[in-house]
Amino acid sequence: MLVYEATKKDFLYSVEKDTIADEIEACIAEKMHRHTGKSEFDSWLHSMEFMYKVLTDQKIPEDCGIAIEYNIPQTSKRVDFMISGYDENHHPGMVIVELKQWEKMDTVEHTESLVETYTGGAMRKVVHPSYQAWSYSQLIRDYNAEVQDETIHLGPCAYLHNYIRKDSDPVDDPRYDLYTSEAPVFTRGQVFELREFIRKTVRQPDYGEVLYLIDHGAIRPSQSLQNAIASMIAGNQEFIMIDEQRVVFEEVRNIALQCQKDRKKRTVICKGGPGTGKSVIAIQLLCELTKCDQFVQYVSKNGAPRKVYAEKLKGTVKKSGVDNMFKGSGSYTETGNNVIHTLLVDEAHRLNKKSGIFHNLGENQIKEIIHSAICSVFFIDEHQRVTMDDIGSAEEIRKWAEEEHSEVTEMHLVSQFRCNGSDGYLAWVDDVLQIGDTANYDMEGIDYDVRVCDTPQQMEELILERNRINNRSRIIAGYCWEWPKKTRNDSNYHDIVIGDYGISWNLDGGESFAIGENSVHEAGCIHTTQGLEFDYCGVIIGDDMRYENGKVITDFTKRAKTDQSLKGIVSLYKKDPQQAIRRSDEIIRNTYRTLLTRGMKGCYIYCTDEKLREYLKKRIGRNDD
């Protein structure tokens, strides 16, 4: 959707009149029904002055098209500034300019796309401006039929007009070459260079015709995107479906295709425990429905599974439009009704009510997802809700589906393929953690390698040995140790210290904990491992769970203060102690249930509470040598 559109001549006149920010604000209020905050308004005042300076070049035609805050159809993403026209050979094109008011940035280790800068009142990790500009152009290229059919050239770039570039500047670090080579960065003092970049695409006027074509282009995944994701998944052992998974896949696909055909809103709730293949089905559907000309996205609250599955799909391919198919659950606060064909929501039990860094955006993530898609698919395990903010439940999904007039279908995945195909281990975990009574008192006859270790060193040695096979074993722990900001990139600092044993939490870098080359020497937590799986897991159960008087008890006071899972529990305890204890008990048990079921072949456990160690050994019912 074109929010603000004009010719270059009109844009320059509005800046000269000092009305440009007011005009943009009025357009957003009229077309997006959204109020503009002061910081956003001030950024327009500032940035448009710099774009005015750039566009006073007489070689950039007066009647070329200008768009500001272009809302990419089917998304809540907005492009800061676009200039359209024809090149010297009369080929249509558009320049995409990502505007930043940054004054400083730093690189982030183990990544080709992340940087660190001051934004939103704090230093945060965000994508490199070139990556952002490139990803927007790729999204438009991959899903806009007019861009594909008319071969409209897209030229992305970033303009950091306050940024003073230095020799060997972080913005030019070689790790970002993949994106800076295609979407160059222009900084303070580079007006002439940016003008030259624009003139390569815009030399003749189009009177806004190219912008019109793009704005009215049908939504259709490009053939190149369809071919790319099909080739990525073909033969990929990570995403092979078996038995019941195939049945659910076929049923969901048929529902999604029916939605595409009759435009009737439908919601699917697919329940399944750990390892039942929910994520595999979601990725397969992502590929299959894209091949059927659908605009489809994989959604999760946690970034870890999105990043890992995207990397597993791409393999050695570093730069791909496939990245745009993986979205956070807070991405749909401003998306219109039924503008996306299908949303595949993995780990739906982790959805939150509000979105944004400060949990102040939107109304309800479940409602917004159902509202945005004709077909919404929620993969859920209600026993994996592990924070105070988790609202994902079948009941909540049904409630919002009814409000959105969406027909609901429920499915169940019961066959277990993690844990060596054994449901017995999962039942044992539920029984031993006293989550629910099952018939699995011990591990007798269950083909799964579970051991309780006397020391954390013993547990780590077993994991390191297993990991040498294929880099698919990891150490994970309950969040009972602090994670100081100043040491989050220092592997020599041991956050977790147990006697003479020490290990760092997974480093706060760009490397994925689940598949990174060195992350076996770090400990992951619930937030970096939920939704993922390994061959073997070493699990450290901290002081928030212990064994007393024949019972497994939990203690929320032993959780680290840096853990946000139980945020608000102290104030709740002051108001209603019983409810606080009940909520925290459920979260802590669900957390360890999730951690203990991350391994497909085995789990090696160390408990800081000696009595809990002895209890677990007894419940295994076999020797651990």
In a domain, 196, yes or no: yes
pLDDT, tens only, 492-546: 899 999 999 999 999 776 678 998 888 999 999 999 899 898 999 999 999 999 9
Q: Are residues 477 and 565 in the same domain?
A: yes
Question: Is 183 among the domain residues?
Answer: yes
pLDDT digits over 158-173, tens only? 999 999 999 999 999 9
Residue 422 has pLDDT above 80, yes or no: no
Choose the final residue of a domain: 413, 447, 468.
413
Cβ neighbors of 482 (< 8 A, separation 6 or more) are 495, 560, 561, 562
331-348 average pLDDT score:
94
Residue 625 covered by a domain: no
pLDDT at 567 exceeding the cut of 70: yes
Last residue of a domain, one of 164, 185, 215: 215
Number of domains in the chain: 3
Q: Is the pLDDT of residue 414 over 80?
A: no
Instruction: Tell me, yes or no, whether 315 lies in a domain.
Output: yes
Cα(256)–Cα(1) distance, rounded to whole angstroms?
25
- Within-domain flag for 77: yes
What single-letter DSSP state applies at residue 436? S
Dist. CA 292–CA 258, nearest whole Å: 12
Residue 624: its pLDDT value, please?
A: 45
Mean pLDDT (whole number) for 329-357:
94
State pLDDT tens for residues 138-154: 999 999 999 999 999 99
| Residue-level pLDDT at 625 | 44
Q: Do residues 198 and 258 both lie within one domain?
A: no
Q: How confident is the model at residue 421 (pLDDT cuts 50, 70, 90)?
A: low
Q: What is the mean pLDDT of residues 390-404?
A: 97
Same domain, 243 and 144: no
| Burial (Cβ within 10 Å: 0-12, 13-18, ≥19) of residue 243 | exposed
Is the sign of the CA dihedral 399, 404, 405, 407 positive or negative? negative
Of the chain, the percentage scoring pLDDT greater than 90 comes to 75
Instruction: Give residue 445's region: left, alpha or beta (phi > 0; psi -120 to 50).
Output: left
pLDDT value for 420? 60
- Do 426 and 408 reside in the same domain of the chain? no
Please state the separation of Cα 258 from the chain's center in Å. 28
Regarding whether 521 and 449 lie in a shared domain, the answer is yes
Residues 157 and 296 in one domain: no
| 439 band by pLDDT with thresholds 50, 70 and 90 | confident
- 584 and 436 in one domain? yes
Q: In whole angstroms, what is the distance from residue 93 CA to residue 140 CA?
A: 13
Name the phi and psi angles at 560, rounded to 5.
-70, 145
The pLDDT value recorded for residue 419 is 58
Q: Would the pLDDT of 580 be above 80?
A: yes
φ and ψ at 293, to 5 degrees? Answer: 65, 25
For residue 109, which amino acid is it?
A: E
In a domain? residue 349: yes
Contact 539, 602 (CB under 8 A): no
Among 413, 421, 418, CA closest to 252 = 413
Tokens (6 digits) for 80: 């800061």
pLDDT at 282: 96
Examine the domain organization and report whether 252 and 396 are in the same domain. yes
Question: Residue 471 sits in which domain range?
Answer: 419-620
Q: Assess if residue 200 is contained within a domain.
A: yes
Task: Mark whether 161 and 267 lie in a shared domain.
Answer: no
- In this structure, the dihedral spanned by the alpha carbons of residues 395, 400, 402 and 408, taken in order and rounded to 10 degrees, is -60
Question: Under 8 Å CB-to-CB from 89, ≥6 apart: which residues?
Answer: none
500 and 391 within one domain: no
What pLDDT score was predicted for residue 32? 82
If asked whether residues 295 and 443 sit together in one domain, one would say no
Q: Is the model's pLDDT at 416 over the cut of 60? A: no
- Last residue in a domain, options 187, 215, 243: 215
Q: Are residues 344 and 478 in the same domain?
A: no
Domain at 392, CATH number: 3.40.50.300
Give 547's strand partners: 552
